[in-house]
Amino acid sequence: MRMSRIVGKAVIVAFLAAPLLHSQVEPPPPPDFIPPLRVAVPPATVQDGWHRPFPGVVVQPAKPAPAPRHDIGGTWDPGPTSGIQIQGAAARPDDGNPAHQPPYTPLGLETLSHTKPSAAARSVLPGETNDPIVLGDPQGMPREELYELRVTQIVQYPEKVLVLYTYGRVWRVIWTDGRDFPKNPEPRWFGYSIGKWVNDTTLLVETRGVDDRTWIDRAGRPHSADMRVLEWFHRVDQNRLELSLEIDDPKMYTKPWTALYKLPFALRPPDFDVREMIYAPSDVEEYNRLLANPVSDKDSH
C-alpha cells in the first residue's frame, strides 16, 4: 500500500515534469470539415532578388527520394497563397460558417469581442482595426504560421532547430536538447519552444509562455498566457514537408482545436533567395495616411 502511494506520486510528478510526455506521432484528427486548400497557379518562372529565374511551381520528381532521418532542414515553399490565411487559421477559417468556429469558452467569446480585425467575417474598415501588427507588434506564435506563412527556412543543429520566417524576417528557436520548459517564464512574443522526434521523420514541438497580447491569427482569435501550441513538422520525402498545428488553451477554448492540418511545403534549392517582407511602421503609417484612413473616412478630407 505504502509502495503504491510512492509509485503513484512518482507518476504524478513525472507527468507534471515531462514536457512532451505524449508522443503523438500523428497530428490530431482534422476538424469535421476540411476547407479546400486552393492552390494558386503562379507564373511559369518567378524572379528572386538577384533577378534570377526560378520555376514558379516546384516540380516534384516522379520517384522522390525517401525522407532523411531526423532532418527537416531546408528552404520550404508553401506556394504563393496557401499560407496567407487571410480568413484566419486555414483549418478553422472565420468565414461566417458557425461550424468552422473554434470551441470558445465564455471568456474566449468575450475576449474575441474586443478584437477588431480588418479581414475575415468580423472585418472592420482598415482605419478602425486594433490589430496589434498594424501598430508594429510582432506576430509571435502561433500567428507567424497562421498568417502570411511564406517561404520558411529551417536550419538544424544538434541541440536546436532554427525556423526563419519570411514575414517580418523573424526567427524562432526550438530546443531539441531535452530541456524542460522554464518555471514561471517571462512572456515572450514567440514563447518558448521545445521539440522531440516522435519517429524518424516527425518533429513534435510544444510552445508555451506566449505573450497574450498577440492574436492567434488574422481573424483576431484570442489566447491566454496559458496557451500551449503543438506543431508537427513531418518530412514526407526528400522534397516535401507538412506542417500541422493545434491550439490548446482551456481558458479560451473548451477543447484543443486544429489550426493547420498537413499544410504542404516543397523544397527549394539551397541557393534560393527569399524576398524580404517587412511591414515597417513608417511604411504602414504612409499607407494609412494615403489610403487606409481615406477609404475609412478617418482622414481630414
| Residue ranges binding another protein (CB under 8 A) | 36, 38-44, 46-47, 56-57, 59, 80-81, 84, 86, 117-120, 123-126, 148, 150, 166, 275-280, 283-284, 286-287, 290-291, 294-297, 301
Q: How far is the CB of 34 from another protein (least distance, A)?
A: 14
Minimum gap (Å) between residue 115 Cβ and another protein:
13
Among residues 299, 301, 292, the alpha carbon closest in space to that of 118 is found at 292
Least Å from the CB of residue 170 to another protein? 15
**Count of CB atoms situated within 10 Å of the CB of 171:** 13
Task: Rank residues 161 and 292 by Cβ distance to another protein and give the closer one.
Answer: 292
CB of 42 to another protein, least distance (A): 5
Q: Which is nearer to another protein, 85 or 202 (CB)?
A: 85
Q: In the structure grid, which three cell numbers stand for residue 70, read together?
A: 531526423
Q: Which is nearer to another protein, 200 or 276 (CB)?
A: 276
**CB of 33: closest distance to another protein in angstroms?**
17
Instruction: Give the three cell numbers for residue 291.
Output: 489610403
Helix (H, G, I), strand (E, B) or coil at 291: helix
Q: The C-alpha cell of 23 is what?
A: 508522443
| CA-wise closest residue to 44 among 30, 35, 54 | 54
Which residue shows C-alpha cell 465564455?
A: 106
Nearer to another protein, 26 or 276 (CB): 276
User: One-letter amino acid identity for 216?
Assistant: I
φ and ψ of 241, to 5 deg = -130, 145
Q: How far apart are alpha carbons 221 and 230 in whole angstroms? A: 17
Strand partners, 263: 243
Using the minimum distance from each CB to another protein, give the nearer residue, 180 or 286: 286
